[in-house]
A and B are shown apart, each in its own frame.
Chain A
Amino acid sequence: MIEVQHIHKSFGDNHVLRGIDAQFEAGKISLIIGGSGSGKSTLLKCMVGLHNPEQGKVLYQGEDFTRMNFEDRIPIRKEIGMLFQNSALFDSMTVEQNIIFPLEMFTDMSRSEKVDRANFCLERVNLAGRNKLYPAELSGGMKKRVGIARAISMSPKYLFVDEPNSGLDPETAILIDELISELTEEYQCTTVVVTHDMNSVMGIGDYILFLYKGQKWWEGSNKEIAHSDVQELNNFVFASPFMKVAKERF
């Protein structure tokens, strides 16, 4: 489980996060949603240690990650898998090298064991046989899937996903959501997804955290969201005419 307590983060005069508290449970998919500039990506970056919050704590199984130095963070970081918005695959490496890179750094597995693990991860994301391709030779959806394969190569306890569906067609976006859902169940990991995509919200959101102007404005499940009377949340989730009709039918 991951717990964030009273997180504050500013960039100069811009106070982006204003005291966020939330709990993200193991084996469940938690979504962080909100408009542009609401602080959701900043919150995710504070959780994984890419930003240091000015106040507050991020607790991994009760251990305060924000107070740890680089060396102390390594054991927790080995248990983290992350898919970035633009996949962040290493350009100079093939698909296979990207996936086995964390294994090379942190395990004593033999070459064949690492390749077997890469093949397993690639099969898991339906990209078997694409080992020798370079990221530049992949489509956007394939890059995301390779990013997921790399994220699960070390069997993560915590899976972070930043805008998994951005730039993807609706069909591929649904496939990615299904994959995240299956992997969360398979690894029983704590999955935190930052998204704008309403299909994801309604489809896989076990727990949804809605941020508005850097504050926690609403939290609940995808079943509760349709019945919420929070104006800002409704304006965000049911912005399109289609979603408004859908809400009325719930």
Chain B
Amino acid sequence: MFFTYFGQYLLLLKSVFRRPEKWRIYWKEIIHEMNEIGVGSLGLIAIISTFVGAVMTMQIAFQLVSDLIPTSVIGQINRDSSILELSPTITALVLAGKVGSAISSQIGSMRVTEQIDALEIMGINAPGYLILPKILAGITMIPILVVVSIFLALTGGLAGGALSGAVTPADYISGITDGFIGYTVAVALVKAFVFGFVITSVSAFKGFYVRGGALEVGQASTRGVVISCISILVMDYIVTALML
């Protein structure tokens, strides 16, 4: 069963990456999708990242009870956790729910109302026209959202530490700047790129092969989110194992 679906997914991807009929039309769609995925998710990601950063600072401070450990370590731990794991993964899981469900239900609705059939009969490569702009927007905008998320998580950590008195701003800033390794950001961006591809392609796949009506579209959307979330966690492990 798994291999049947995986094979179908690969065949769909083969059609997605066929040469577009007219790049100008696709470009318009890519910009539209970048706006939907990127700008449309910015507020949600900003709120989540800021609070996660603030809470992380307080929890790290709570666990570091020894007077022998300088409080600037709180900043270091928060920085590395946010860059390597929390920002990419939490952003991706949230976007799997928000963007992924929107993609599967949009494409699924087009399938059950014969709009995809209409595209195919016109001679348009429906997987390419509908899915390629979403994938390209996903793999460009999700890394940008992850960078924003990292910045806001660290800022949230600063605010959380200062407001709770867990760490002074000076110690926190010293912690996040000391011993910074740029490579960790590269790992985060690779993760974000992979997650962007997984979220958009898996959700589109579930929507593209829907059969039935509104009920099945809803079920496909739910399945798309679940499979995307599991795939994100598996890919997170693989990328971490390969790069660290």
Measured CB to CB, the residues of A under 8 A from B are: 48-50, 70, 73-74, 77-78, 80, 82, 84-86, 88-91, 101-102, 104-106, 160
Contact = CB atoms under 8 A, between A and B. Distances in A.
B35 to A, nearest CB: 14
B59 interface: no
Interface stretch (B67-75, B120-128, B137-145, B230-238): B120-128
B178 interface: no
Contacts, number: 54
Given A104-B22, A104-B25, A106-B21, A86 B123 contact: no
B22 A105 contact: yes
A101 B25 CA distance: 10
Interface residues on B, range: 10 to 19
Nearest to B114: A88
| Secondary structure type dominating chain A contacts | mixed
A77 B124 CA distance: 9
A88 B122 contact: no
A86 B109 CA distance: 13
B122 to A, nearest CB: 5
18 contacts: A48-B121, A70-B125, A77-B123, A78-B122, A78-B123, A80-B122, A80-B123, A82-B121, A86-B114, A88-B113, A88-B115, A91-B110, A104-B22, A104-B25, A105-B123, A105-B124, A106-B21, A106-B123
Interface in B99-131: 109-110, 113-115, 117-118, 120-125
Interface of B: 15, 18, 21-22, 25, 109-110, 113-115, 117-118, 120-125
A74 B123 CA distance: 5
A50 B123 contact: no
B118 A82 contact: yes
B121 A77 contact: yes
